Amino acid sequence: MGLENFSFSMLSLCSEVLLFSVLCFGGYVLILLHFLIAHNILVPNTLSHDVREF
């Protein structure tokens, strides 16, 4: 009984840590992508100007 509870708590802890790391990584990627787009590194100038017009 105690061992099952321990393994379940470890599993939930691992899943929480994994979810947290995925969220942090996703946020970092979004910020990096937004930075690149804002400075016209990733998107050509013509495309970014067309997007700003709409």
Q: What is the pLDDT of residues 13-39, one digit of tens each?
A: 999 999 999 999 999 999 988 887 777
The torsion angle over the Cα atoms of residues 41, 39, 52 and 26, rounded to 10 degrees, is 80
Sequence-distant (≥ 6) Cβ neighbours of residue 51 within 8 angstroms: 43
47: confidence class by pLDDT, cuts 50, 70, 90: low
Instruction: Please check whether residue 11 lies inside any domain of the structure.
Output: no
Start-end of H helices in the chain: 2-38, 45-53
What pLDDT shows up at residue 3?
73
What pLDDT shows up at residue 49?
59
Total domain count, the chain: 1
Domain that holds residue 32: 21-54
Instruction: Please check whether residue 53 lies inside any domain of the structure.
Output: yes
Model's pTM, two decimal places? Answer: 0.48
Gyration radius of the chain's alpha carbons:
21
Instruction: Please check whether residue 37 lies inside any domain of the structure.
Output: yes
